[in-house]
A and B are shown apart, each in its own frame.
Chain A
Amino acid sequence: MAGYILARLLSLIFVLFVVSLIAFFLMHAVPGGPFDLGERRLPEATRQAQLEKYGLDQPLLVQYGKYMWHALHGDFGVPFQRPTETVTGLIADRWPVTIKIGIPTIIIGYGLGTILGVIAAIRQNSWIDYLVTSVGTLGLTVPSWVIGTWLILILSVRFGWLPTGGWGEPKHYIMPVLAYSLAPMALVARYTRVSIIETMRADYVRTARAKGLSENRVMISHVARNAAIPWVTVLLPEIPNILTGSIFIESVFRIPGLGSYFVSSTLSRDYPLILALTLLIATLWGITYLITDLLYTILDPRIRLTRP
């Protein structure tokens, strides 16, 4: 197992290298540069000086090499958007905010979604099943920013109960977590329901019941455990998305997290930040998939990750 994990981590390094290379050349292929802001064209010397200041006058391969060399030493440069900060400082400062929204979102979305999915599966074709299915469809089809806007219009503008956004107090969590958790809750509920219904009809469950096992034991030992495999496959990789924030949620509710930087760094051609965020996402995904694969072996002993 240790060898397998090591091999996967080494392959992740290779993946990160390829991802960084693709991201680097793609972002430089987009027209416009970080300093193309002015209403009139800058003198050529000023343009050149701006490029030199950030090393953007050098050949692309040299720029890439220098960036990666510094990155390997923990220096991801200075974000053009925030000249008084460093990229690592910015991520260290903003990411915890995103995580603080992400964790309650995961707890509510996955916890409530699982409970609702299980109830709907056990009470298949009952009113509660229909309700969960309907809410699930709504959660998946209505974008989170629309839900966020509704919440603001009702709770802030109409009734004045909550601020439209902001950060720093418990009340600032309520609307963003509500809006953000609806989609994962719907997704989890639907997958949980389907997995459990399918598993409940499996031969080995029928055998377990025929052997006289109690319904609780059948559900916990046989149904839940086997139904968890598709649940882990589909839903676990959603977690990195939640933990790196939503541009919509953070923007609508004025949350000073990392999410908005995924878009603003691209729009403002903030090359150091684009690369750092791309690597961050790639790393998180790589690790999540590794964890997912390891979980398979725990949930189903028949699964082996290494050759026998």
Chain B
Amino acid sequence: MTDFRRLEDTRFDRRRMLGVAAAGGLGMFGGGLLRSDGTLAAPSGGRPRVTRSLQDLPAGAAPVEQQILYLPEDATVARVLDFYIAVYSRPVEAASDLFSEPLVRLDKNFQLLPASAESWSGSEDGKTWTFQIREGLMWSDGNPVTAADWVASFRNAATPEFAWDFTWFFQGVIANWTEAVNGEVAPEEIGINQGATELELVFTTETAAPYLPAMLLYSNPISAARLAEHGPLYNTDPATAISAGPYILTEWLPDQEIVYSRNTAYTGTAPVHIEQIVIKLTSKDNYFAMYQANEIDFLRNPAPAAMEIMLSDESTTTEVHSTPGDFPTYYLFFDQSQAPFNDLKVRQAWSHAIDRDALKEAVLGPAGIPAYSWLAPGFPASQTEEIRDVQAFDPELAKSLLAEAGFPDGDGFPGLQMQLRAPTPLEKSVAAALAAMLKEHLNIDVELLERDAQGFTADMNAKPTTMQLGFVRYGMDFLDPINMLSVWFAGNRHDSWTNEAFESQARAAGEFIGDPAERIAMFQAAERIMVEDVAAVYVYHGTEVQLIKPWMTGPFKEPDDNGATGMHWPAFTTMSTVPFETFIGEDNPGR
């Protein structure tokens, strides 16, 4: 079993309350940090360094030399290995962010746990957040892990010339972040600084940000000393790589494999069983054959044909697992600045023309559930059932709305292209089904257009957008409704739809400090505005299907509070407890 501990702290004051306010709806996941009786599960205190020995391995584990995990990764993705260097170029499907630990992390019930930080607190106004970094954390080069490492990481990321690919994440949150990214102030001016001691890290936010601790799941630091000495890419070469996390880079054969080995200098709090992680770099098309040949132990989102093979054989059905993933929503979006989608009735007609239940039955299977709103079931503030009727399937209503909009039986409605972003086989099938439903129920012709990821993304993000109709997904970054809802703020992903009432309500909820239940209600009101105004037609919430070999095992395979098993998001990274819950069983094929 894992060795994580959550110490109960019965002290309850406003500062601590702020420290957990970010959990907000996390209570929905089976407890969360804020308990229903008002008591608090506070961040745990320090633990002694974990030392490894044979006895540390759980019962049923293979010997140390067989504790090797094989994971696949798309060879075109793996370019760097640190979050604060390039978010979209990490081997995140396999294993990433293992060379340091974030301030906080999640367990499989999506509870926020301390990681590098042993505690944190917020100021009265919710704008100052102080994290106490655990004492004794060390980089493998012998330097201690201190607040300076986080300060250097964030400042580097905010430097305009560095052009970090995730700068939007802290815009409007960290004080002076936007100004620094725009080159208006120096990166040293951002609201992230060392506090009273080397182990105190202070964040200053633009507005009250009770969600900041949850947001700081993405806070794996890079080493300030190594950054100064070798530059930001030091972790792409085993010769210069260092780690304060449970693993360190020991080999990188471009286009072949990346090998992480256990960091023997690790001084963090988590037990480590897997001795080595071998990431096989390949094309996604090869994953299933490799899995069948026992060359990899795990794969995500198998193609429908692969799923059929696995589920048709009793001996392999137990290898199929399903998790909420990053709570993604797949949706149809429109250019609402122009006809015909600037007419609410047209959008409503489309929303009522999609038979999600049929889609689930005929196409999705275990890979998704019908969506009628933005926030997926299980995500904080989700209100799937309460809001279901707003976009429910009703072909008669859809037809009459379209007629009211001036297109009786689809007459005069322009032919459209539905653009798809590098679609998977499943996404293509779903899009084809959507086009068929629009034809059947509204007599509208929709042609599918497959785009490569970069061309699609550029057109979708263009301001003003150049995409009239598209089908795409969005998954969360952190477990707070503000993260998902802010996608629809003006100037963000889809700014051809704007709604002042929605945005002001969502922003107010985001900054709200007080009763978490009230905050959730505020978010739900905002989401209802968005759904009623048909910012998008919500189609399905993806569930991540995973194939996991029997010998890749551990507590992560036991059901979570919602009964789901598998590697929960964010999976094999120090942002999650998964890496420390995983070991290779005795039944491994002895590769």
Cβ proximity bits A35-67 to B, threshold 8 Å, 1 near / 0 not: 111111111111001101100000000000000
Most chain B CB atoms below 10 A, which of A31, A35, A50, A53: A31
A85 at the interface (CB under 8 A from B): yes
Chain B, Cβ-Cβ closest to A155: B293
Chain B residues near A267 (CB, 8 Å)? 76, 452-454
Cβ of B488 to closest chain A Cβ, rounded Å: 11
Contact of A37 (CB < 8 Å), options: B164, B182, B283, B457: B457
A50 to B86, alpha carbons, bound, how many Å?
A: 12
B498 at the interface (CB under 8 A from A): no
Asked if A43 and B168 make an inter-chain contact with CB atoms under 8 angstroms apart, the answer reads yes
B166 at the interface (CB under 8 A from A): yes
Asked if A164 and B286 make an inter-chain contact with CB atoms under 8 angstroms apart, the answer reads yes
Chain B, Cβ-Cβ closest to A156: B293
Asked if B236 and A39 make an inter-chain contact with CB atoms under 8 angstroms apart, the answer reads no
Given contacts A38-B457, A42-B167, A46-B160, contact A82 B254 (CB under 8 A): yes
A152 at the interface (CB under 8 A from B): yes
The stretch of A185-193, A204-212, A248-256 in contact with B is A248-256
B165 at the interface (CB under 8 A from A): yes
Asked if A31 and B459 make an inter-chain contact with CB atoms under 8 angstroms apart, the answer reads yes
Cβ proximity bits B176-188 to A, threshold 8 Å, 1 near / 0 not: 0010011100000
Cβ of B219 to closest chain A Cβ, rounded Å: 19
Given contacts A42-B168, A46-B164, A53-B163, contact A32 B80 (CB under 8 A): no
A29 to B20, alpha carbons, bound, how many Å?
A: 50
Asked if B256 and A46 make an inter-chain contact with CB atoms under 8 angstroms apart, the answer reads no
Q: Which of A193-244 contact B (CB under 8 A)?
A: none
Given contacts A45-B183, A163-B295, contact A40 B168 (CB under 8 A): yes
Cβ of B99 to closest chain A Cβ, rounded Å: 16
A103 at the interface (CB under 8 A from B): no
A167 at the interface (CB under 8 A from B): yes
Asked if B293 and A164 make an inter-chain contact with CB atoms under 8 angstroms apart, the answer reads yes
B261 at the interface (CB under 8 A from A): no
> Chain A interface secondary structure, helix, strand, loop or mixed?
loop
Chain A residues near B167 (CB, 8 Å)? 42-43, 46
Contact of B289 (CB < 8 Å), options: A42, A52, A81, A153: A153
Asked if A254 and B165 make an inter-chain contact with CB atoms under 8 angstroms apart, the answer reads no
Chain A residues near B255 (CB, 8 Å)? 94, 256, 260
A300 at the interface (CB under 8 A from B): no
Number of B residues near A (Cβ < 8 Å) is 54
Given contacts A39-B474, A42-B165, A157-B289, contact A269 B256 (CB under 8 A): no
B37 at the interface (CB under 8 A from A): no
Cβ of A6 to closest chain B Cβ, rounded Å: 39
Cβ of B590 to closest chain A Cβ, rounded Å: 13
Contact of A38 (CB < 8 Å), options: B166, B183, B292: B166
Chain B residues near A39 (CB, 8 Å)? 474, 493
A160 at the interface (CB under 8 A from B): yes
Asked if A167 and B256 make an inter-chain contact with CB atoms under 8 angstroms apart, the answer reads yes
Chain A, Cβ-Cβ closest to B466: A31
Asked if B76 and A84 make an inter-chain contact with CB atoms under 8 angstroms apart, the answer reads no
Cβ proximity bits B6-50 to A, threshold 8 Å, 1 near / 0 not: 000000000000000000000000000000000000000000000
Asked if B461 and A40 make an inter-chain contact with CB atoms under 8 angstroms apart, the answer reads yes
Given contacts A37-B165, A43-B167, A153-B289, contact A83 B79 (CB under 8 A): yes
Cβ of B556 to closest chain A Cβ, rounded Å: 26
B501 at the interface (CB under 8 A from A): no
A254 to B283, alpha carbons, bound, how many Å?
A: 8
Chain A residues near B492 (CB, 8 Å)? 40-41
Contact of A35 (CB < 8 Å), options: B165, B168, B295: B165
A252 to B285, alpha carbons, bound, how many Å?
A: 8
Asked if B165 and A84 make an inter-chain contact with CB atoms under 8 angstroms apart, the answer reads no
> Could you pull out 30 A-B pairs where Cβ atoms are within 8 angstroms?
A31-B455, A31-B458, A31-B459, A32-B457, A33-B458, A36-B458, A37-B165, A38-B166, A38-B168, A40-B168, A40-B461, A41-B461, A43-B171, A46-B163, A81-B76, A83-B80, A84-B233, A94-B254, A149-B289, A157-B289, A160-B293, A165-B290, A251-B282, A254-B256, A254-B280, A254-B283, A256-B256, A260-B76, A267-B452, A269-B454
Across the A-B interface, the 5 shortest Cβ-Cβ residue pairs: A256-B255, A32-B455, A32-B454, A32-B458, A50-B163
Given A38-B88, A39-B474, 6 more pairs with CB closer than 8 A? A35-B163, A37-B454, A41-B491, A45-B181, A45-B183, A260-B283
- Residues of B near any A CB (own CB < 8 A): 75-76, 79-80, 87-89, 160-168, 171, 178, 181-183, 233, 236-237, 253-256, 280-283, 285-286, 289-290, 292-293, 295, 452-459, 461, 463, 474, 487, 491-493
- Residues of A near any B CB (own CB < 8 A): 30-46, 49-50, 52-53, 81-85, 93-94, 149, 152-153, 156-157, 160, 163-168, 251-252, 254, 256, 260, 264, 267-269
